[in-house]
Homo-oligomer: A and B are copies of this chain.
């Protein structure tokens, strides 16, 4: 079994900003994919905003088990039709890992149903990440805490829905805390948000960060065929009822009629 992983990168700052290019000369998506490809059971490719259909054709998504998303500077440039296509695949069971500034990505806001806002400060301060759920598969092999010496601060309130589970919480030098690793399921798709990864710092070269992302890929992976049935709202006719029943009372719908949507 190999988990077909697609790392999507906005790929803007790597091209226009010297600092970012120095840290990620081949792009952040390439760095993340490279780290994943060094792990057993994961085969990672990349896609970027600039490719046709942002590299997210229906065919490609159908062949993707887990999608990783990093964007920051131009969330608005992602085409709404492609957003719906990605969301639909998540509902059908594709895993989704949203990184750092992807909290404001259209796909994430669409799946959460909330603003996904937070406080921020770009001061290169220390972030200390605590494991608060050591039994969770995503925390496997992760120490009880680890440090990213320079990171952007994200502070609460992070306006996302209460997660299934909180896996990591960050401490920042400047006095803030942040729920840095959160899980949800939407339809049949597993979703993990992971906070670190400001583009001016070498966060995705950190081995612990790489392990967390690889763990998240394995956790988010759902084998088996796409769960397409969840898009339907099928009428179950009386004569097909699982237990024999007799129709009673007044009706709105004619036999065989579609429901309202």
Contact = CB atoms under 8 A, between A and B. Distances in A.
Given A91-B114, A185-B161, A242-B174, A200 B252 contact: yes
Given A75-B260, A132-B179, A235 B169 contact: no
Nearest to A23: B250
Contacts of A133: 157, 162, 185
Copies in the complex: 4
Given A111-B113, A135-B187, A252-B13, A171 B161 contact: no
A188 interface: yes
Contacts of A201: 249-250
Interface stretch (A29-37, A120-128, A206-214): A120-128
Given A75-B261, A223-B140, A241-B175, A233 B185 contact: no
Contacts of A76: 261
Interface in A154-197: 155-159, 161-162, 164-166, 169-177, 179, 184-190
A110 B113 CA distance: 6
Contacts of A238: 121, 123, 174
A69 interface: no
B190 A250 contact: no
A249 B148 CA distance: 13
Nearest to A73: B260
B114 A186 contact: yes
A253 interface: yes
A112 B153 CA distance: 28
Contacts of A235: 119-121
Contacts of A200: 249-252
Interface of A: 13, 17, 19-20, 72-76, 87, 91, 93, 101, 104, 110-115, 117-125, 128, 130-137, 140-141, 144-145, 150, 153, 155-159, 161-162, 164-166, 169-177, 179, 184-190, 198-201, 222-224, 227, 229-238, 241-243, 245-253, 259-261
30 contacts: A87-B113, A91-B115, A93-B135, A101-B260, A114-B230, A115-B187, A115-B231, A122-B253, A132-B179, A133-B162, A133-B185, A134-B188, A141-B224, A144-B156, A145-B242, A153-B236, A155-B236, A157-B230, A159-B230, A161-B186, A162-B166, A166-B179, A171-B172, A171-B176, A173-B245, A174-B238, A175-B242, A176-B236, A177-B177, A201-B250
Given A124-B251, A128-B175, 8 more contacts: A115-B230, A121-B238, A122-B251, A122-B253, A135-B227, A150-B248, A157-B230, A169-B169
